[in-house]
Amino acid sequence: MHSGTTTTIQDPKNPEHVKTFTFDLAYWSHSGFQMDKDGVFISADPSGKFAGQRDVFRDLGGGILDSAWQGYNATLLAYGQTGSGKSYSMIGFGANKGLIPSVCEELFQAIENRERNQEYQVTFSMLEIYNEQVRDLLSRTKKPGGLKVREDQQLGFYVDGLKSVPCENYAQIERLMEQGTRIRTTASTNMNASSSRSHMVITIQFKQVFLDRELTKQSSINLVDLAGSERQKSSGSEGDRLREGSRVNLSLTNLGNVISALADAAMGKRVLHVPYRDSVLTKLLQSALGGNSRTTLIAAISPADICYEETLSTLRYAERAKKIRNKAVVNTSTLMRESRTENNKLLLGCGNSSMAGQPACLLAEHGLGPHADPMSWAHQLEQARKEWQQQYVAIARERQMTETLPHLLNVNEDPQLTGVLKYFIQPGSCDAGQATSNAITLHGLGISEKHASFTNLDGKVTVTPHSKCKVVVNGVPITTATKLQHLDRIILGSNSAYLYIGFPSERGSDDLSRFDYDFFQLERAAAEGVSVDKLGAVISGDGKADPSVLAVFQDYIKLMPLVAEANQMSEELGKGLKMELKVKNLALSDSRGYDLQKEVMVKVTNQRTHEVWIWSKAKFINRKFLMEELYQRFLDGEDSHNVAQEDDPFWDPLEVIHLGSAHIWLQSLAYCMKLEEQVEFLNCDGLEEAVLHIHISPCSPTGQACGEEDVVIDPLELLGKRMDFQIRIVRCLGAKWLKEDAERGVQIGYRIYDLPNTLYTKPVWKTVNPQIEETVQFTALNASQEFLNYLQTNALIVDLWGLQEGCAERSCCEPDLMTTGEGHIMVDTKKISTVMDTGKSTSNQISELYLKLLKLEQETELLRNINRALREENVLLKASLEKTGSSQQAHKPSNTLKVTGMTEQLPAARDINQVCSQQASYDREFAKALKVFYQSMNMARGQFLRLRLYKPPEDDQMLRPFVHQQSQMLKDFGDLLESSLWKLKNDVTLIVKKKRECLLRVE
């Protein structure tokens, strides 16, 4: 943010892509600040660009108050993704008060300084919208299905039965906000709903009565904290058949549609319909968005590069909303009304706190609707005072108990809701659970009627789980009585987190803020053995871990509690599903051995049928929303079992599951040597899933295996020549997938070099060690340099796929693959493909002719080779015949002179022939030595891969055997390397020695 009005955003993946947005105001509050003596964040440099809460209130809060005093309706909306600072801007944290408390406080200060011939009436209401249901946050009674939104011809949309409390000072509004936050926290626990998925609305009705002029002015101030904007995306997760099913995301989606329609109308486009009625939120915001209100939008954005897409989306959203124009009028109760048109202001802000986003809503008139009780203002105040007296007594009693008794403080994902609920542990023994008969009544997923007992005796507190109830202390599950220490972390059920506050004697000046929701989840993950190191973070020279692994770790931590909650819902609804987090590509690498990008996924298993699904992160989050809706219907007493299969978030059609991958290095093929291996299929955890038996053999065009005499010393000898080889999948041994359920099946797939499609074997069912026995022959008509490099540096990746009864098998046919005349699959076809593509534009006959020419060229080359071999054999035969003829002439006495001459020349000829034959023999021996060396190197590579993936056990007692076994493996690996090099050195030395002796003899 280079100025007070512009925001520039740069794509971290493409730095040259820069976009600039202009708004009425732009605030930077991410860095450049310090804390003053009161704990308020102020700019570290007087000339710096940091904007604190006071700056935001000065610019925005003042305008809201001015509108209220003039009699205009005023609305403030906070929009942005979860964690971007919406709630921080609206509510604030600690000494850094947000807009809502600051506006209320300033309003009452101004009232105290006004003339006494006027009467001021202020009422306060607070509600939230979650899953299209409205909940009154000032009422302790919960109405099934929530409050109803009704419509009146004069008032428009309003919430029927919403409680609106008269207030005489700011302290009362503070108490009401605390009360609303407490009820909101309890409701979110009961519904298992994060506050970042609901909208919160505070409405202040401000009425000015001018006694001397018989005139009233009335203003409705609506302060709206919207749900996290990224939730819209989750419902559109790719590959999810239920992507449009969740009502959790409906209201924000519809809000976007309304803003788009109003923006189009403001630009002069024809708009037939503005969809206010499509959601509860847009109904209640109708006046604020397109009617009688001065409206301000705060768009909160995050500076993190991983939030780029979401931030860009938020900026575009705000830019669209900025085009809307409202017509606000003064609300008076006399016949002569002031009226003026006011442009709608929209401003942009950027928060600096990772507060979770929350909810919003609008009320008409007094927020009571047409059937409001026509009590006088004095009567309303009198009733409110009586309620205040009761609350003051309760507040004083709670404060006294907090100072004297040990207690539990709730810890919520939303920092605004953390520390709101307190559960006191009285002397003696007290039960905790869902039942109202317990001394401590708790709510939340996985909490039983009687979940645990807390005992407060002799200055110490212990917690004891009931039966098999889940209780976790400091990240570790417990089953017996456990003594609690001050600031211990307790998780009850699936994910209800509490911080234990000990006796007053144990307490000090503790910073409780560090024990936030993330602290609990990180501690839980560490206890379960999940860490950055386990996920394979590569520490760079500067000591920092791989950013991609850190991102995966954060996703893992974020999803851990969600998976626990989903499992609990599955259990209570009788769905029989078990979900567990996995990291995709944790131990897998590409064809060159480089680590693949890691990502979190969720493995879902039906414990009754053993059916398995793999869900992406986005798909799981979407399903979690839908599960919550179904679970809420179950809690409300509806029949949750009467759900059509296609609408059930716990069900999906069966699919093929990727079980693991095996790497077969192709270096030996570059030297025309056969390769026969048994390699492990490694799953995403780096563990053995099965063993693959595979043969890769160079062969002739007719499929006959090449012999030792075909081995080449330098792969460049194959450049430009025809190469044929066969890949034979023999069998798959010991597949865990098949051991778990005998009714399952497997398929194996692989793709080599530039093949456009993956080749799959035929499916094999109900066999633990399936015999595959499938052979495919490949042909490179003109082996290119790129193909030979590929063989020397890459591996063939073979994937193992798990089949389930009823799922669609992988296609075994070979579509769109080029084949030779013999029916072999062609690889290394870039040159051919180029010619064929060119041919298509003119005539298909050209490409066919080119293929025929290539084939003729190969056959001609083959004939040349045969002819060359025959010529060499002919020379040898001729020499042999000459020797035979010479020896016969030696017995004739009449030719003594000639015999003598021939006899003198025979040893030289014999030596030359001997040198030629020995030279060929040495080359064969050298090639054979190289072959043995490459085979031993393949074995060494396999041993090294096993060593790298050999992880230490979690059980300390198994550490000694592990170290011993690892030492033995290292010794074997070293011995293999040493013996291979020693043998190669000896073989080469022997060959060189023989060759030198032979040459010396000739000389």
Torsion angle, CA of 368/373/379/385, rounded to 10 degrees? Answer: -50
Decide: 120 and 217 in contact? Cβ < 8 Å: no
User: Using 50, 70 and 90 to split pLDDT, how confident is the model at 345?
Assistant: very low
Sheet holding 482-484, edge to edge: 440-441, 428-433, 452-457, 460-465, 482-484
Arithmetic mean of pLDDT, 654-666: 93
pTM of this structure: 0.74
Q: Are strands 452-457 and 460-465 parallel, antiparallel or unpaired?
A: antiparallel
Arithmetic mean of pLDDT, 298-306: 87
CB burial readout 296-307, b (16+ within 10 A) else e: bbbbbbbeeeeb
Q: Is 761 left (phi over 0), alpha (psi -120 to 50) or beta?
A: beta
Question: In the prediction, which pLDDT does 191 show?
Answer: 64
User: Using 50, 70 and 90 to split pLDDT, how confident is the model at 892?
Assistant: very low
User: Using 50, 70 and 90 to split pLDDT, how confident is the model at 371?
Assistant: very low
Distance CA 183, CA 198 (A): 14
pLDDT at 347 over 60: no
Distance CA 489, CA 518 (A): 12
Q: What is the CA radius of gyration of the chain?
A: 40
pLDDT at 286 over 70: yes
| Annotated binding residues for ATP | 80-87
Cross-strand bridge partners of residue 484: 461
Distance CA 695, CA 680 (A): 14
pLDDT at 320 over 90: no
The model's pLDDT over 571-580, given as tens digits with 9 standing for 90+, comes to 999 999 999 9
Arithmetic mean of pLDDT, 3-18: 88
The model's pLDDT over 595-614, given as tens digits with 9 standing for 90+, comes to 788 889 999 999 999 999 99
The model's pLDDT over 844-877, given as tens digits with 9 standing for 90+, comes to 444 454 455 555 555 555 555 655 665 566 667 6
Question: In the prediction, which pLDDT does 625 show?
Answer: 83
Mean predicted lDDT score pLDDT of the chain = 80
Question: In the prediction, which pLDDT does 240 show?
Answer: 76
pLDDT at 370 over 70: no
Question: In the prediction, which pLDDT does 645 show?
Answer: 86
User: Using 50, 70 and 90 to split pLDDT, how confident is the model at 632?
Assistant: confident
| Annotated binding residues | 80-87
Arithmetic mean of pLDDT, 436-443: 90
Distance CA 357, CA 298 (A): 12
Rounded percentage of the chain residues whose pLDDT exceeds 70: 79
pLDDT at 946 over 70: no
Distance CA 307, CA 304 (A): 5
pLDDT at 341 over 80: no
Q: List the one residue out of 315, 262, 311 whose CA is nearest residue 22.
A: 315
Question: In the prediction, which pLDDT does 759 show?
Answer: 93
